[in-house]
Amino acid sequence: MALPKIQSPTFEVIIPSINKTVLFRPFLVKEEKILLMAQQSNDDKDIIKAIKQVVNNCCLDDKLDIDKLATFDLEYLFLKLRARSVNNVVEILYKDAEDEKEYKFSINLDDVEVTMPKKSEKNIKINKKSGIVMKYPNLSIVDQIKDFKDEMEFLNFFIIKCIDEIYDENDVYPASEQTDEELQEFIDNLDVKTFDKIREFMENMPKLEHVITYTNSLGKEKKVTLSTLNDFFTLG
C-alpha cells in the first residue's frame, strides 16, 4: 500500500528586484538536509549554492529563472522561506564593543525587508556620447566566484558582472558578448571620476536591512544594522 502524500501549504512572496508575486512552498526535510550538508563543508560558496537550490526547489513558478534574480533577492527569499518553514522569529546574540557584554534580541523575519537605494544611477555617462549601463549582480555569478588575492580584484570581478552594456554614439555593446579580459581592459582605461560613479553604484545596491536599537549597561543608546544572512542566523 502506497503511503499518503503530504500536501504542503503555499504562500506568496513579492520578489524585490522585479516586483513580481511568486508562489512558494516551505522547505521540507529534504531541503534541510541540503543546508546541513553545506554547513558541514564550512565553505561559503557551498552554502550559497545550497540556499539557491533550496529556493529553486521551493519555487512553484516554472517560468521563474532563479539564476536571473539579483543576489539580494536570494537572501530575501531565503529569509521568507525560513520564516514559513521553521519559525518566523530568530534570536541573535550581539556583543557590545563598549561594555563587552552580550545582548540577546528576538527578530521577526516577517519584518525584514530589502532597502532600495534612494539614489542609484544605472546609466553612468563617460562623456556626452558614451556611457555604461549597470545592472544588479544575479545568481549566475555564484559558480564563478573564486578566491581573490585582494579587495580590488574582488571589486573588479563584481564590476564586470554588473555591466549590462556599453554604448557610444554609433552602437550598443552588450557585456554578454565581451570577454572578461576585454571588459577589464575597458574599465582600466576609464577616467577616475567615471570609476568612482561605478563604485558608488556598487556601494548603494539594494540590501536586506533591519535595525535594532538598544541601550547598553553604560546607558548609551546603540544601533545595530543587520544586512546579511549571517547577521540573522547561522544556517542549519
pLDDT in tens, 183-213: 999 999 999 999 999 999 988 889 888 999 9
Kindly report the average pLDDT of the chain as a whole number: 89
Burial of 115 (0-12, 13-18, 19+ CB in 10 A): middle
Q: Residue 232's pLDDT band (boundaries 50, 70, 90)?
A: confident
181 pLDDT band, cuts 50/70/90, is very high
H or E element: which one contains 178?
Answer: none
Residue 83 has pLDDT above 90, yes or no: yes
Q: Are 220 and 97 in contact (CB under 8 A)?
A: no
CA-closest candidate to residue 142, choices 30, 44, 39, 31 = 44
**Cell reading at 232:** 540573522
Rounded to 5, what percent of the chain is helix, strand, coil? 40, 25, 35
Angle of CA points 202, 208, 133, to nearest 5°: 30
Q: Is the pLDDT of residue 87 over 70?
A: yes
Per-residue pLDDT, 147 = 67
Q: Which amino acid is at 55?
A: V
Q: Can you list the positions of beta strands (E) in the chain? A: 11-15, 20-24, 89-95, 102-108, 113-115, 123-125, 131-134, 163-167, 172-174, 207-215, 221-226
Global confidence as pTM? 0.84
Domain boundaries, the chain: 11-113+207-232, 123-203
Q: Which three cell numbers stand for residue 145?
A: 566566484
Which pLDDT score, from 0 to 100, does residue 234 have?
Answer: 45
Residue 11 to residue 25: CA distance in whole angstroms: 6
Question: What are the E-state strand segments in 17-142?
Answer: 20-24, 89-95, 102-108, 113-115, 123-125, 131-134
Query: What is the per-residue pLDDT across 14-47, written as a single tens digit (0 to 9) for each?
Result: 999 889 999 999 999 999 999 988 888 877 778 8
The pLDDT tens digits of the residues spanning 100-149 come to 999 999 999 999 999 988 777 899 999 999 999 999 988 777 667 766 77
Residue 39: its pLDDT value, please? 83
pLDDT score, position 233: 61
Q: State yes or no: pLDDT of 6 exceeds 80.
A: no
Hunting for cell 547577521 — which residue is that? 231
Of all residues in the chain, the percent with pLDDT exceeding 90 is: 59
**Residues contacting 57, CB < 8 A, separation 6+:** 27, 31
